[in-house]
Structure 1
Amino acid sequence: VFINIGGLLAPFVAPLLRSWWLKVHNMLYNAQLPALCHKYLNDGTVDPNLAGLIAKANTGAAVDMADPSAVSAFCTSYLDVFNTGIHYSFIASVAAMMISLVIFSLCRKKFPNPAKKEAAAVQGYTAEEKASMAKEIKQRMAALFAVLGVAVFFWLSFHQNGQSLSVFARDFIRTESIAPEIWQAVNPFFVIVLTPIIMAIFSALAGKGKVISTPRKIAIGMGIAGCAYLFLTIFSASMGYPSGTEFRALDDSTRSSMLAGPWVLIVTYFFLTVAELFISPLGLSFVSKVAPKNLQGLCQGLWLGATALGNLMIWIGPVMYNAWPIQYCWLVFLVICVISMGVMLGMVKWLEKVTG
């Protein structure tokens, strides 16, 4: 919970510092302007929307759009100030970590010290046990790798909140007064609010003798994640949204007429957060149940490795988002979630037998 409290606060830091630094230099934040400034400086292309965006973002002396040197000077200055504002957010992160270090240093005497405890015997199998349980160990490792494969695709889909979903928030959501990054705070907010509710539901079902096994919860979680992308697919198709690249090339009035309300992101993050609560907290628990006791540490690392591999592939989202009408981008993630759910459901009885 406390990690998510930090996650709830973190998305506000960078936009606030960036906007503050821009205001110091008589400028205002605009999500579209940096890309157009880069385009102008790189090849001299004057986007039809550049003049209007400069007028909105510039609160100082007017920029003469007929003078290339003046436009170039403003674009260079805007990008420099914009990037420096982002650098300040990294400094804020360093400051936050230093505060954490100070708190830890002041309180470490109150923390339990494992070094003072009697060393526990390392659990393992004897040679005879290994020989007699070789088949079971292989089954357990096979079950673990099967779930790890599903986990990779969950994190690939879930962590689009920092990639294609953030770009979607910037391009297609009517949030003039809210930076796109801030919408990432919706997920930790839902985690804090929904965790006790989900846990209460699990406890109530267990009290009635209807315990949901971890493999089945993971399958349900993939289905719920699929609901988020089903919603986005239907919504984007009904709105006739083009690709991100095509959308950004439209004039201001056309883009404004196509913008959606913030509720679209809230609904999407609701589904993704519920899916996370069905999968993420249970992952390491599942690993501890299924992993051979002499490979516990290695298997815990494999779960974290699957998470990292999923994160490594999240660049796929923005590529599809900018290349195709965006409903096809969401459709791909929907298919990934549905296939992963189907695979998990197909393995549920086997996994329950192995972990039982």
Structure 2
Amino acid sequence: MIFYMGINIGAFFAPFVATGVRDWWLQKHGFSYDGSLPALAHQMLNGTLADTTQFQALANKVILNGSQVTNLQQFANDYLGVFNKGYNFAFGVAGVAMVLSLIVYVLFFKYLPSGNRVKEVEKTQKTEPEKQKNMVLIFGVAILLMALTTFVIQLIPNLKYDLGLAVGLFVAFIAIIFQMSTQEERARVISLILVFIVVIFFWMSFHQNGLTLTQFALNYTVKEVGAFTSLFFNLWSILAVISTVVGLFLVVRAQSTFKERMIGIAVTLLSAVVCYLFIYNNHLYYTSPQEFEAQASWLKIFFIDNKTKPEVFQSFNPLFIVSLTPMIMGVFSY
């Protein structure tokens, strides 16, 4: 349960982190984000953009210093270069997060309830003759199977060697764990392999869902929303919304103590005020910029623009799951 919830919490934050890193890189190079620009820039470079009016308008709009774009070809090259590099950094953040998770696991593994038992099992298994296998032979067979799989798959029309290499790595991994297992472990290893195969298709479907949702959002949703709706497209504002809901839950829950209800009331009121400030500043910025600029500096912190980002739509899926899971568990445990 905790593992499942952790996955979805991470999936909720991931799109915000990715878009944040990308937008930071764009701003660092004097650009802002617009979802329509990359496609138009590619058309410009490919020579398939018949009417450059929209592209010119968007290009002028995303230049942060307010200057006008005079060379659309050069702008398309520059914008796509920065845009793509921003996504590279966003992907790098995911890699860093995976390394951090591995470090956390290694550091805290000894605190797991089964840690001592696993160590005892490992000590026992090290004395078994069956464990004294030739590692060179094991890895040699795995590499041979990987190469063979890669070669066979790239022979199939419309399939390339990179897909074959990915499948080959999986086959090599399966070959290694199968060869290293003892006779007693074989049944469990086979069960684990079957789970791996099922999980492959599950995650294919799961991520296809996110990809499809992003493409739909990019092509068929508006790029700017109202002040209230903008709450759901910024990390800090949506966290304020979530905090409001959590506070209300503590207030109305029958099992809540008096102290928990007081905490719930405080969290609800504070979060609601923050949400109001986000909405107010958004409305003020777009209706009366001079009045917005005249505000105190600390009030300007609570500002979010009204732009939507297609990737952020993916956050709604895990948020929906995380929100419903406790309710579903409550129903079945009632």
TM-score, length-scaled by structure 2: 0.47
Greater relative contact order (Cα < 8 A, sep 6+): 1
Q: Which structure: larger Rg?
A: 2
TM-score, length-scaled by structure 1: 0.44
